[in-house]
A and B are shown apart, each in its own frame.
Chain A
Amino acid sequence: MNQEQFIARHEPQWQRLEQWLDADADRRKRKAQWNGEQQLDFPYLYRQVCHHLALARSRLYSQQLINRLDSLVLRAHQRFYRPTVNLREKLIEFAAAGFPTQVRREWRLVALAAVLFFGPLLSMLSVQQLYPEMVYTLMDQQQVQTFEAMYSPDHAERIGREGDSQSDFLMFGFYIRNNTGIGFQTFAGGLLFGLGSVFFLLFNGLYIGAVAGHLTQMGHGGPFWSFVAGHSALELTAIVLSGAAGLKLGGALIKPGRLSRLRSLRSAARGAITIVYGAALMFFAAAFVEAFWSSIAWVPAPVKYTVGLGLWLVVLGYFARMGRGAT
């Protein structure tokens, strides 16, 4: 069969497929098409056109015809294999089972990240009580004074801010940008064989420990601890989880097992990104609590400590129990 006969025989099918794809790309026309009278057996037609392309290539018809069929097959392939997203269901499944089970699956890395984060934090905190000048190894005089002012007991309305007049919403936006950004960077640093994540975890742990230790040994511990009590459960856990996700990437590079480094990295990334989604949501929640609850000065400290403890129990319980029994 020569080219002209081939085209004459199959052109109607190609045009039909092209029209169908064009209408499908337009949302209004797509609905009309799906409910319309002339339904198209798309999978069958797609396979037919693939067959025509194979024929055209093997018979070496003109390049123009082959290119046209190439484009048509590529378009149809993308329509055919387009992933269907049901966002609501996926979100519910993620929150109820996907996220906690993934964290439990990676408990070793989470434990390692927790050690890398809380270890320096607690050591810096305790060392500071004996050697108060340790804080100056991490930050200079001006930064220390800023912190002292932020958590000073003399604040009338709001603690933890650099000026009484800054609104809650402003700080909400600031915390979202600041903290989630840190979390994402901690995760991304994992690609450098895990060293980036390790660095961010250690540094943030030391920094927070230094601030906490300095304020405590100064005697301003009251405002500071009641400030962090509320959102610490969410935020510190989110930092540890971001670090764990980064370590998962690094671990895939360092110890790929029986896969090539590339494959190992790809499969690790799929699991790690799940943890990052969850950590991002926790950062948002932490920012909400930090902006609208933690800084209120007139709430008595015991109430804040109770709320903080409650949140810790909720977070730990969520990761320990949620999603068990569902396969």
Chain B
Amino acid sequence: MSDALLDTLRNVETPEGIELKLAVAGPVVRALAWGIDSLIRIGIYAGLAVIMLSAIPGGLGIGLYFIAVFVVGWFYFVVFEVYRDGATPGKSAMNLRVLHDDATPVGWSASMVRNLLRFVDFLPILYGFGLISMLLSRDFKRLGDVVAGTVVVYKDNARGGSAPPAAAPVAPNYPLSLEEQQALVSFAERSTQLTEERNQELAELTGPLTGGQDPGQTLAQVFGIANWIAGRR
């Protein structure tokens, strides 16, 4: 059933036999991250210009400035990706990171390749080829990602779990399939994030499970069943 649904999850099978699900990031959020990175780099160039050209006089200062601009221009991305968990400041701000295809942290070779090929991705203007590649690729990969074998994913934030509402456990009046059980328990755990009206609306969809109950009791009944399934007896 889940195979038929459309999503941007990329499945990676690990040697331990587990399938990791990575949420790949699309062009818009990557463009925003790049925009933030560009602003930061412009700031760095300006700062370096001020420091080096005013503090160190003459040719030495200009030479150092050229070298610094070269290093920052070509290696800004690489250093952050390799040493800061796959995320430049712009990507961190948008909650993204760069990983190898097999979900391992990105290494030097892959990072260098994907960043040196930015030159091609940037053609004809403003990442035109890169955008086309992202739209054609299944995992939103630009040309640099395709060649280097990397992928840009959303960082997995530890989602704060919320305890389901306390309710007296109630056994369901007919056996439920595993999917249905999972749906009920997940609903109970999510209920604190939804409004009261929405909770009520969803609880009333259960039909025969809570049939015959007066509307005020439906929600409590559903929570009770969820607690029973989860084992909070």
Contacts and interface: CB of A to CB of B under 8 A. Distances in A.
Dominant secondary structure at the A interface:
helix
A70 B14 CA distance: 12
Nearest to A188: B119
A277 to B, nearest CB: 8
Contacts, number: 159
A71 B158 contact: yes
B178 A59 contact: yes
B182 interface: yes
Contacts of A50: 14, 16-18
Interface string A256-280: 0000001001100110010011000
B189 interface: yes
Contacts of B161: 64, 68
A262 to B, nearest CB: 7
Nearest to B118: A188
Nearest to B66: A173
B74 interface: yes
Dominant secondary structure at the B interface:
helix
A168 B102 CA distance: 47
A2 interface: yes
Give the size category of B's interface with A. Answer: 35 or more
Given A50-B17, A54-B18, A166-B59, A269 B113 contact: yes
Interface residues of A, number: 60
A265 B117 CA distance: 13
A189 B120 CA distance: 7
B176 to A, nearest CB: 11
5 closest Cβ contacts across the A-B interface? Answer: A167-B59, A173-B66, A2-B231, A169-B63, A4-B231
Interface of B: 14, 16-18, 20-21, 58-60, 62-67, 69-70, 74, 99, 102-105, 107-109, 112-113, 116-120, 143, 146-149, 156-159, 161-162, 178-179, 181-182, 185-186, 188-190, 229-232
Interface of A: 2-5, 46-47, 50, 53-54, 59-64, 67-68, 70-71, 73-75, 77-78, 81-83, 85, 165-174, 176-177, 180-181, 184-185, 187-189, 191-192, 196, 249, 262, 265-266, 269-270, 273, 276-277, 291
